[in-house]
Structure 1
Amino acid sequence: MLKHLYIKNFTLIDKLDIDFHPGFSVISGETGAGKSIILGAISLLLGNRADSKQIKQGEKKCIIEAKFDLSKYGFEDFFVENNIDYDSEETILRREIADNGKSRAFINDTPVPLTLMKRIGEQLVDIHSQHQNLLLQKEDFQLNVIDIIGQNASDIAKYQKAYKQYKETEKKLEQLKKNIAESADNEEFMRFQLDELSNANLQEGLQEELEQESNTLSHSEEIKSSLFEADNILNGDEHGIVSSLKHTKEVLRSIAHVYPKAEELGNRLESAYIELKDIADEISADTEDIDFDPQRLNFINEQLDKIYHLQKKFHVATIGELLEIQENLKKQLHSIDNSDEELEEMESLLNTQLEECRKLASVLTKARLKAAKIIEGEMKTHLVPMGIPNVQFCIEIKEKSLSPDGADKVQFLFSANKNTPVQPITQVASGGEIARVMLSLKAMISGAVKLPTIIFDEIDTGVSGKIAQQMAFIMQKMGNSNRQVITITHLPQIAALGTSHYKVEKHDTVTGTTSHLRELNTEERIVEIAQMLSGADISDAAIENAKSLLNVN
């Protein structure tokens, strides 16, 4: 419930600081006095787009702040989920707009994204303006009304989950068919590519091994000559390093008994000798192994040419990438070989999911038919007292193809006359009749969703007298059901039934025009309603009539 509204520097409003009360409240005032400005300010708290032009001329910033009592509406989970301090009796929404166009949103002094403010704002306040009557033309609005009043949220969620899975499988199936068709066209070429890669006997590291061996064979004479020279230096018969080192080691050990240090030196030479002997043996063996083999070199170069050709052909740089392409080709060809089976499995899954969607859509249809009957009955209960005694209101639900909202095509049918057949409501209902229908729907919706605050912006357009009074009775009843109803009206019959009465006034000052909102006391209400009855010149009869409407002596 809206407890308090504070507005500063917003269009024509210098400062507005006012309390609101539970139940049914009315706001009156001359056309152009600023009622729409106040609604515009409140709409900013519901997440509507801000504009720096809304700031009062000459000011740097405007502020709109509202305090709500949420103690009867169960909003705690929202605050816990979004890590915002929760005070059930005083929740504060604030919006600040700077002259540079930037806007900030706060919930209980915590900065929040505008999307989050919009999310909670839509659950706190519903502003019903005249243009919302046009919603009756939209099938999705009519369907939404049925689902809200039928409390079908759980059935809708189950259906939409199944429908989403069905559409995802349908998309995958279409892609699979496309892939199969494309693969079939390219099958022969893919098999040729796979054979070419397979025949190359590719392995990780093969390219590096072949390149090294090719390099060795290409320089075999140079390598053999150098190895031979190194072998001769190490293993020469007379002055070879290995034999000299061995002799040196023995000489040192021969004096170890008179020169102990020679033992240690000899041991160190022993280690060097062993390592050098091993190197010499390896060089000697390599000298024997290295031979120029033109046939082997030719074979290796042919293998390398194949690898280079494949890398160029497939636009890659390594054998690893070629192996990856080879594996992908195997998978694609395996998929082609098994495509009939895969296609059959996916089609079977799609049919199963389709049947599940139809089953859940049927459950939803039954729930909607049941809700439609309730709405039809309640609409007659509401509309007959509001001056449509012969009203016929029917909800036609026809089957349609499965869609995100089910398999039901909904249309509200209406006739204000006994012997006139029902037709689509937007084609036959007058503006005043549509206003009464929308009020009736809002009354039912508000009861179903427990919306804290509903604001009606001149919903009484096109009606007067007793009809207006009956509309006021409905709004009054809504306001007595743990919710707050505020209506902007020009009709005294509606204004008189408000628990609280506010007036919007416009004043011209030396600095410009300003708009104000104030709560009227009993005497002021009498005068205001009398003026609504008779105009600027208030007669005694109008005063008495106003007192009668207010049940004031």
Structure 2
Amino acid sequence: MLISFSIKNYALIDHLQVDFNNGFSIITGETGAGKSILLGGLSLILGKRADLSSLKDTSQKCIIEAVFNVADYKLEVLFDAEDFDYEPHTIIRREILPSGKSRAFVNDSPVNLNSLQNLGERLIDIHSQHQTLQLTNDDFQFQVIDALAKNVIQLSNYQNELKVYKLLQKELNELLTFQAEAIKEHDYNSFLLKELVEANLVDGELETLEEEYETLNNIEGIQEKLSEAYQLLSDEQIGALSILASLKGVFQRLSAMSSKYENLFNRVNSSFIEMDDLFGEVNVLQENLDADPSRLETVDSKLKTLHDLMQKHVAGNISELIEVRDKLEDKVSVTESLDDTISAKQNVIKTQTKKLNTIAESIHKNRVEAIPNLKKQLESILVDLGMPNAQFNIKVLIGDNFLSNGKDELSFLFSANKGGNFNELKKAASGGELSRIMLAIKSILSKYIQLPTIMFDEIDTGVSGEISNKMGDIMLQMSKTMQVFSITHLPQIAAKGHSHFKVYKEDVNEVTQTNLVKLNYDERIVEIAQMLGGVEMSSSAIAHAKELLN
């Protein structure tokens, strides 16, 4: 509900502040008085783009502010999604700066225009004869049917399950794409894996093999040097062991003569023991050292294999080769198990499809049952609005595809004349007829769902007094459950409002300004009398105005 509206420095408005009540509010004024300016200002609040031409005084900024009571609109989810601060009394402000830049605020937090538009369309519905294209839109037509069908919960469940279904389908498509690519690589990956598996990779093996290769490849030189070492150690004349044995005997005798030589004896004895151990080790090495051409060939072949694999896979060591092998094992394993994974995913999708079909069929059933009621109400209201031969042919047929609101395909056809052919609304109805059909639909919707504030902008243009009287009755009835505004030139409608506002122009200091004022009872009599008979009011016009108001 729109509680208050203020405008500063906009078009012909210097400063305007007005408060509104719930119920049915009337706005009247002569042609050119500035009703379109008010609507323009309101459109800025709802997210319309602004430009510098909107400024009355181009040296000052324009400020337009509206306060809404949104407590009954259940907008907490929208506020959360748009990251707005939720307040039951929400303030929307637009500022147009002299530079031409525009800013928007919701509860003093800056917002972008897209977010403001998303909120605005939930707060006010501006409806004119030129804004009935929505009526010919399938989504809107489904919204009308679903309101009568009470499909709110089912549609919410359906849309939640549809998100799951689409996610599962996306995952399946990704698996199928991966499988197609994996199949192309599978044979090659299997070949690479086979090479690495047959190589029997052992971390640290490269260094061991390289050392063994060096030994086997230099066996003769090693044998020669070990033999030389053996001779140097064991020769009876000049061998190290013989010399140390003699030296050991000398110091043993000296230590027997004096204890001060005992330390030297111990040191020589220790050297002799170490040298004797060395001799034994050289002897073992020499005995165990055999030329093995076959083993050399094996080691050489294994080293060549390892180096080739490292070069092929750009690996610096065996550890990195093992990582490559493990990754290839995963790829090959995943490829070989993809059929099972895909089959499991398809089974989950089948289950989800059944769940969606069940909900979609429930939605369809409710729609089928609601359509006769919608058709009856529409045709009945349109009789009162001067369209006695209006007929609707509305059908929903369940299709094969999961759509955003079910599986139904909608046929919403209309005929304005008795015996006429049914056709799409946009082809079968004139602009005036569309406007009356929209009024009828909005009046029906107001019984079933909480609609935003609606502003009817001269939808009564070109209709007779009796029909306008019926229009006024419909708007008045709607105002029992929602806030309704009507910008009108017809006294029959103006007299039905709970509140009446007049738009007028006046010259202040030789500058034309537009203002909006709320009329009291006596002022309403004068305004309605002038609407009936012109500026020169007759006593009969005043009497008629009082009669209409009463």
Same topology, TM > 0.5: yes
CA drift at 1:155: 0.7
Letter in 2 for 1:191: S
Q: 1:69 to 1:359 in 2, by over 3 A?
A: closer
Q: Tell me if structure 2 keeps the 8 A contact 1:431–1:462.
A: no
Q: Hey, what's the Cα distance between the residues in 1 that align with 2:197 and 2:407? A: 54
Change (3 A) 1:314 1:464: farther
- The CA RMSD over aligned residues, in Å, is 4.5
The answer on whether the counterparts of 1:52 and 1:97 sit within 8 Å (CA) in structure 2 is: yes
Q: 1:543 maps to which residue?
A: 541
Match of 2:502 in 1: 503
Question: Contact 1:142–1:411 (CA<8 Å) still a contact in 2?
Answer: no
C-alpha contact (below 8 Å) 1:203/1:319 kept by paired residues: no
Cα offsets for 1:412-439 (capped at 9, x unmatched): 2223334335433322222222111101
Given the superposition, is the C-alpha separation of residues 79 and 290 from structure 1 closer, same or farther in structure 2, using an over 3 Å criterion?
farther
1:528 aligned to 2:527?
A: yes
Unaligned runs of 5+ in 2: 233-239, 249-254, 261-269
Of 379-388 and 537-546, more deviation after overlay is shown by 537-546
1:77: how far off? Answer: 7.5
Match of residue 378 from structure 1: 377
Q: Secondary structure at the match of 1:505?
A: strand
- Per the alignment, residue 267 of structure 2 pairs with none
The residue number in structure 2 matching 1:423 is 423
Q: Displacement of 1:63 after TM fit?
A: 1.9
Q: Match for residue 467 of structure 1?
A: 467
**Structure 1, residues 356-413: CA drift from partner, whole Å, max 9, x if none?**
3222211010111222222122213322211223332332212322232212112322
Contact 2:398 2:408 survives alignment (8 Å): yes
Moved more, 468-477 or 306-315: 306-315
Scaled by the length of structure 1, what TM-score is found?
0.76
- 2 CA distance for matches of 1:542 and 1:290? 138
- C-alpha distance in 1 between matches for 2:511 and 2:202: 87
Contact 2:453/2:483, CA 8 A, preserved across alignment: yes
**Matches of 1:378 and 1:119 in 2, distance apart?**
30
Distance 1:428 1:369 in 2: 23
Change in CA separation of 1:538 and 1:175 when aligned onto 2, cut-off 3 Å: same
1:3 is displaced (CA, Å) by 1.6
Please give the residue correspondences for 1:133-532 in structure 2 after superposition, counting only pairs within 5 Å.
133-204=132-203, 303=302, 305-314=304-313, 318-319=320-321, 321-335=323-337, 339=339, 341-404=340-403, 405-481=405-481, 483-507=482-506, 513-532=512-531
The Cα offsets for residues 472-526 of structure 1, whole Å up to 9 and x where unpaired, read as 1111111122x21112223232222222222223456678654322223344434
Distance 1:460 1:10 in 2: 28
Matched to 1:37, the amino acid is I
SS at structure 1 position matched to 2:381 = helix
* DSSP-derived class of the 2:514 partner: strand
Q: Cα 1:542–1:171, aligned 2, differ >3 Å: closer, same or farther? A: farther
Match for 2:479: what amino acid? Answer: G
How many angstroms apart in 2 are the aligned matches of 1:413 and 1:472? 27
Listed one character per residue, the Cα deviations across residues 10-40 of structure 1 (whole Å, up to 9, x for unaligned) are 3333221111122111112344443233223
Q: Which residue of 2 aligns with 1:263?
A: none
Cα 1:333/1:431, change in 2 over 3 Å = closer
Question: How far, CA to CA, are the matches of 1:458 and 1:430 in structure 2?
Answer: 16
CA distance in 2, matches of 1:91, 1:499: 24
Residue identity opposite 2:372 in structure 1: K
Structure 1, gaps ≥5 residues long: 244-249, 256-272
**Among the aligned pairs, what percent are the same residue?**
41
Q: Which residue of 1 aligns with 2:11?
A: 11
Give, in whole Å, the separation in 1 of the partners of 2:209 and 2:488.
93
Distance 1:492 1:31 in 2: 15
User: 2-side partners of 1:316 and 1:375: how far apart?
Assistant: 74
What is the TM-score normalised by the length of structure 2? Answer: 0.76
CA distance in 2: counterparts of 1:329 and 1:22, whole angstroms: 68
Q: Distance in 1 between matches of 2:291 and 2:44?
A: 89
The one-character-per-residue Cα deviations of 1:201-242 (angstroms, maximum 9, x if unpaired) are: 3355556776788899999999x99xx99xx9xxx9899xxx
* Whole-Å separation in 1 of the counterparts to 2:216 and 2:35: 97
**1:431-463: CA deviation from partner (whole Å, max 9, x where unpaired):** 222111101111222332323522122222442
Structure 1 distance, partners of 2:125, 2:289, is: 93
Q: Secondary structure at the match of 1:123?
A: coil
Q: For residues 142 and 387 of structure 1, what CA distance do their matches in structure 2 show? A: 22
Partner Cα distance (2:494, 2:323) in 1: 81
Q: Contact between 1:150 and 1:370, CA under 8 Å: does it hold in 2? A: yes
**How many aligned positions are there?**
509
